[in-house]
Structure 1
């Protein structure tokens, strides 16, 4: 298995960037399309635990707007041709709050890259967190 094939990394980065743009614009149809339309899809958010695409879609439909954010660091690792993990460290604009987001993506036959699992967390305001292992 090849780790970090440049072509795969570019494909995954394009999906990652498309998702981020859609999130900041609250383009629900795009956000939904990037997630795997399957009951096994999981999204753990800052204040929600969602099992299955229907729960994820219902949550997205309830959101009026997402907190705007600045990307501080993005890490993507591809495992072979069909699985990748993305990691984002971000700062919520105007709050100083630091968030973290991990997505597991898989290349689904006839669909392309889809998020199959996501986990979002936010550090408490009084906890600036520790960033270790900054070497890429």
Structure 2
């Protein structure tokens, strides 16, 4: 079972700058990028629910994790961090994370066309 580096009280009551420093220190010590992404996502939720404006918390750390050290488990939270990247970087990251997506879409189109062709053969027959 995974242990969290912070308590719920710390995550929702500490100042954002303090949390960012502690998250950076946690990453430097443990190297656990997946937990860092989850913690930053929690800060985004805190920003949405709270009155203070956090902006893009841990911007350099998140950019480094997704560009240099992406993992499969970080893929789940990928779309929450679109504001952290430029349009060109975002397109490159989407292509690298979902490289097989165009092949799947092409396969799906071929399957649909085969089904339509089968139905078209019976559409114009007289019963």
TM-score, length of structure 2 as denominator length: 0.22
> Whose relative contact order is higher, 1 or 2, with alpha carbons under 8 Å and at least 6 apart?
1
Asked which structure has the greater CA Rg, the reply is 2
Pick the structure with more strand per residue.
1
Pick the structure with more helix per residue.
2
TM-score, length of structure 1 as denominator length: 0.21
